[in-house]
Amino acid sequence: MEVFWERIRQDALSGRGINAEDALTVLRLPQVEIWRLLDVSETVRRHFKGDQIRLCSIVNAKSGLCSEDCTFCSQSIRSKALIKKYPLIEEEDIVMAARDAKLRGAREFSIVASGLSMHNRRELDRVGNAIARIRTDMGLETCVSLGALSAENISYLLSRGLRSVHHNLETSRRFFPSICTTHDYEVDVRAVCEAKAAGAWVCCGGIFGIGETVEDRVELAMTLREIDVDSIPINFLNPIEGTPLQGKFDLTPFCCLKIIVMMRLCHPAREIIVCGGREVNLRDLQGLIFAAGATGMMIGNYLTTPGRPAEDDLRMIEDLGLRVQPL
Ligand code: SF4
């Protein structure tokens, strides 16, 4: 076992990342080993990323009414969750949300819309205009999560000042058909590869606690490595009432931490951003996400659920002796 500990430390510090077998061992380690694991992941995070933490924030610019049937999502066609449903909000409202995000300390602002893809030219123009203002007037980094965008539409948004395209693979190729039957995994893989080819910074990760196995978690990590994503958002299921996964609390805080560690050791030099489900799944252990290897987190509200006050997150970062990455 000593060989294992030395190997994962060295493989991660070398920048290549640990192999699938060791990633699986990490996820299967007993709870008592968590502190030794955090020592490794903290060393690796500091080696590549120092003590700076990236904060991002989102606006749910178009909510609900999605044609897709993702089991975990309150906006899907299968969901009976009592959420607000509305078409794309006005440019001014997007810009106002970005202003609030900047005041909360966010460095990056993402415009998120439900649906498999945004094709409508008028909608894209509205998003493009908002991006241009957010970039020029506020200096925030901009991101969109608008589904599987065409290369042409990504190029248009990049020309307006967009930096990142977010599109999650959600889980492993093997498990995906169990959580979504309305589109194929390859549609998402292609969308991510096209965004990268178009020159966008690509933010792509998944959601955990949806019934996947530890093997699925490792398979997702390896697929993300194959397609060479830049930033990995990690979501933990918040099993909202009215969704097919309502009430499914499979994760423990230690389990969440091991998932973050596994991602950090598989992707030593990438950004790892902890997003939805942080508060409900990690509870009082939220402060350990950075030792586990996270280099950022989402602050403010999530898509259809409220986050905790941004001041609490900023205080947590300060108390840990870390620093918010400035604009
Ligand atoms: S995750 Fe995205 S594609 Fe799936 S149902 Fe929700 S909004 Fe639609």
The encoded tokens of residue 204 equal 């792509």
Of the residues 58, 62, 65, 66, which should be mutated to test ligand 1's pocket, given the most ligand atoms within 8 Å of the CB? 66
What pLDDT was estimated at residue 117? 85
pTM for this entry: 0.96
CATH topology of domain 2-324: TIM Barrel (3.20.20)
Among 288, 164, 171, 174, residue whose Cα is nearest residue 221: 171
User: Which residues of the chain carry a pLDDT beneath 50?
Assistant: none
What pLDDT was estimated at residue 69? 95
What are the boundaries of each domain within the chain?
2-324
The ligand 1 atom at the shortest distance from the C-alpha of residue 76 is: 5
Parallel, antiparallel, or unpaired: how do β-strands 231-236 and 271-274 relate? parallel
- Dihedral of alpha carbons 64, 65, 68, 70, sign: positive
Residue 57: what are its φ and ψ, rounded to 5°? -145, 155
Ligand 1 centroid distance, CA of 97 (Å) = 22
For the stretch 95-118, pLDDT in tens is 999 999 999 999 999 999 998 888
What pLDDT was estimated at residue 202? 98
Pocket of ligand 1 (CB under 6 A): 66, 68, 70, 73, 75-76, 114, 116
What pLDDT was estimated at residue 61? 96
Ligand 1 centroid distance, CA of 117 (Å) = 10
Residue nearest (by alpha carbon) to ligand 1 atom 4: 70
The ligand 1 atom at the shortest distance from the C-alpha of residue 73 is: 6
